[in-house]
Structure 1
Amino acid sequence: MTMAKRDTYTPETLLTVAVRVFNERGYDGTSMEHLSKAAGISKSSIYHHVRGKEELLRRAISRALDGLFGILDEPAARTGRAIERLEYVTRRTAEVLMAELPYVTLLLRVHGNTDTERWAMARRREFDHRVAELLKQAAADGDLRPDVDVRLATRLLFGMINSIVEWYRPERGGHGTSEEVAEAVVRTAFAGLRT
């Protein structure tokens, strides 16, 4: 007597597969059929865990955003001189990006085509704004070079951090540990920002 194959997927393992497929095909280019094939389970099994692909997107993006916003609540991000808090937040943002690489990659690729994507973009802007406030405070404290445009510096800082998703592949090696990459980001950015 043969046993029917039991659905061994959990919401977490299904999310892992969905994020991989979303990053490969793009969210808009992914159907429930694609997710079903990638997971090796029926569409009805997926619907047992989630209402649809947008719920998977929201869960994935929430994981990335929770990691980023969690940084802002860490003690070293909340106390001390603004420049030191900014360096800490920069380092931790790079570390979280690398630790949650597929999830943050997905977050950075949303275009605002769905309610979830628009929500994610608004939350990203909120995070960027809070980091920009630290930059402004560091400038007001006299810890940034006076010729630095704070808005431009904010964009460049995030551009450098966010570019990590395009080239960082820990399985290939060659770029050092995530701690070494994060430290290189901080050294590179703040060598040009600090007085």
Structure 2
Amino acid sequence: MAENTPRTAYTVDSLLAVTVQVFNDRGYDGTSMEDLSRAAGISKSSIYHHVRGKEELLRLAVGRALDALFAILEEPAAVTGPAVDRLEHVVRRTTEVLLAELPYVTLLLRVRGNTATEQWALERRRDFDHRVAELLRAAVTAGELRADVEPRMATRLLFGMINSIVEWYRPGAKGTDGVADAVVHLAFDGLRAR
């Protein structure tokens, strides 16, 4: 927000949207409360009215992304049916959540463990990855996916493909329709047992 524009009444959610953009542009460590204040067009004391500080903003932002990802694992299609179908659902929905929550997931993927909040986020990401790896392992055991690729490696490769989307995807850009379908097609046509 430019300095000469009228001030907007901020909520935690609207403040968070500005904060995530600044964190993604400057990095968490490279962002000061003054940077956030300037970007939001409000005083630092106004920010402190909503949150205790920069680390709480980080926790709220990455928590939003993590909560959306973990919610996928509780969806009916993720808990019932053949393991391969559940895994396909999780992969599709993970991609859809990434696209819907792009700035928040981008921030989540950039945390490095330098603070308690970043360590918490990394631990939750590992838990999510572990749960998906268990699902992949179940599909391999059931003979639904090829057994010649170690499940943890296959999980890392799947998430490598999905997570790389944050680097190139721009909403509305030509040629970016059908991303979730493309991820599922590429992943499962290559992983399915023949």
Interval of TM-score (by shorter of Structure 1 and Structure 2): over 0.9
Q: Describe how 1:76-95 pairs up with structure 2 within 5 A.
A: 76-95=77-96
Q: Could you report, residue by residue, the CA deviation over 1:44-85 in whole angstroms, capped at 9, with x for unpaired residues? A: 111111100100000001100010000000000000010000
Q: Structure 2, unaligned stretches of length 5 or more?
A: 1-5
- How many Å separate the matches in 2 of 1:16 and 1:42? 16
In structure 1, list runs of 5 or more residues that go unmatched: none
* CA shift for structure 1 position 146: 2.5
Identity between Structure 1 and Structure 2 (%): 72
How far apart are 1:190 and its partner, in Å? 0.6
Following superposition, which runs of at least 4 residues in structure 1 exceed 4 angstroms of deviation?
Answer: none
Contact 2:22/2:39 (CA < 8 Å) preserved in 1?
yes
1:173 positional shift: 3.5
Q: 1:7, 1:183 → 2: CA distance?
A: 39
CA pair 6-191 structure 1, distance change in 2 beyond 3 A = closer
1:95–1:6 Cα change, 3 Å: closer
Q: How does 1:39-54 map to 2 (within 5 A)?
A: 39-54=40-55
Corresponding residue number in structure 2 for 1:138: 139
Pick the aligned partner of 2:183 from 166, 182, 185. Answer: 185
How does 1:65-76 map onto structure 2 within 5 Å?
A: 65-76=66-77
Cα 1:155/1:6, change in 2 over 3 Å: closer
CA distance in 2, matches of 1:94, 1:7: 33
Q: Deviations over 1:18-42 (max 9, x none)?
A: 0000000000000000001100111
Q: How does 1:145-184 map to 2 (within 5 A)?
A: 145-176=146-177, 180-184=178-182
Whole-angstrom CA distance in 1 between matches of 2:8 and 2:140: 55
Give the CA deviation at 1:7.
Answer: 5.7
